[in-house]
Amino acid sequence: MRIINIGIVGLGLIGGSLAKAFKKYTDCTVSGYDINPETIGRAVKEKTIDCELKIDECDMLVMAVYPADTVRFLQENGAQVKKGAIVCDCGGTKEYVCGEAEKIAAEHGFTFVGAHPMAGTEHSGFDFSDSELFKNASLIICSDKKQPEMEGIFGKIGFGCFKYTTAKEHDAVIAYTSQLAHVVSNAFVKSPAYRRHKGFSAGSLKDLTRVAWLNETMWTELFMENRENLVREIDNLIDNLKKYSDAVRSGDEAKLKSLLREGRTIKESVDGR
């Protein structure tokens, strides 16, 4: 199926950026919806979208809202989705949303594919949306079969890698690569020393605390949808940190050096030197 009409639900950082990118890099007609009518008006005026969402005309519908809202929207509007259309989402957890949305899709004759663009910034909202956000990013696709239409259209807006996986594997790995990183960054700034850091810090602190600026409403939902995986990752990190703390406390230089060497070696073996 050729994708001519794209609909985007949710014009925040991701949805707004997708709309801008589809308008800039494809010939598709882009319609959009946001819970805030002013955002729709602005997006139309700024030509970020061609018009307000025409759900029954969309060949592809991209859900760019929180996972629970994706499910709710499809429960309420699934009957209007064009037969044979592809509906994908952008949410940060997948087991819950894929399970629910695939049932709704089967009922109404469209295809649901869980997707997660590995792109973002520490900011959120339409104001920060950017047509170039997806340059060379990875798109995680939760599907056991290849999705050539999705690869085609998302490839045009900059995605450089399509990673196929299951919803279960997605949630297990993302609990670490994204969720744990946000927890650590947010916890890191809670030392009293953070308030004294100016003049005492360089790149490492800046990098480590960048995503401490987060949207707590969104992340609370994502964490709650992935509790078991996230708890496992936080506890595992705590166990590892204790080893460093114990080695330093007891003055065990050999142990400390070996812990540091082990981390450096893993980093090198995974990401090269």
Find the shortest distance in angstroms from Cβ 137 to a second copy. Answer: 7
Q: Considering the complex, state which of residue 3 and residue 68 has its C-beta at the smaller distance from a second copy.
A: 68
Indicate the residue among 77 and 201 with the shorter CB distance to a second copy.
201
CB of 108 to a second copy, least distance (A): 30
Element (H, E) at 25: helix 13-25
Contact 112, 98 (CB under 8 A): yes
Helix, strand, coil percentages (3-state) for the chain, rounded to 5, are 55, 15, 30
Instruction: Return the beta strands (E) in 121-191 as ranges.
Output: 138-142, 161-165
Q: Taking a C-beta distance cutoff of 8 angstroms, is the pair 82, 110 a contact?
A: yes
- Least distance CB 72 / a second copy (angstroms): 17
Nearest distance from residue 86's CB to a second copy, in Å? 21
Q: Extract the tokens encoding 220.
A: 């609370």
State the CB neighbour count (10 A cutoff) for residue 24.
13
User: Which tokens belong to 102?
Assistant: 């695939």
Closest Cα to residue 90, out of 44, 23, 157, 41?
157
Of residues 188 through 247, those in contact with a second copy by CB under 8 A are 188-191, 193-205, 207-214, 216-217, 219-220, 223-224, 227, 230-231, 233-238, 240-245
Q: Contact letters (x/-) for a second copy, 101-140, by CB under 8 A?
A: -----------------xxxx---------------xx-x
Task: Draw the binding track, 143-182, toward a second copy (x: CB under 8 A; -: no contact).
Answer: ------------------x-x-x----x-xxxxxxx-xxx
Asked if residue 45 binds a second copy (CB under 8 A), the reply is no
Count, residues near a second copy per rule CB under 8 A? 90
- Give least dist CB 89 to a second copy, A: 16
CB of 166 to a second copy, least distance (A): 12
Of residues 2 and 190, the one with the C-beta less far from a second copy: 190
Nearest CA to 174 out of 183, 64, 161, 11 is that of: 183
At its nearest, how many Å lie between a second copy and the CB of residue 129?
A: 16
Q: Is 132 helix (H, G, I), strand (E, B) or coil?
A: coil
* Cβ-based neighbours of 104, under 8 Å, separated by 6 or more: 71, 74, 75, 78, 112
Tokens representing residue 97 in the block: 């949303």
Closest distance to a second copy from the beta carbon of 273 (Å): 7
Interactions with a second copy, residue window 74-93 (CB under 8 A): none
Nearer to a second copy, 3 or 214 (CB): 214
Distance CA(217)–CA(92), nearest Å, equals: 13
Quick check: helix, strand or coil at residue 63?
strand
Nearer to a second copy, 31 or 185 (CB): 185
Question: Scanning the structure block, which residue is given the tokens 């030392």?
Answer: 191
**Among residues 120 and 155, whose Cβ is nearest to a second copy?**
120
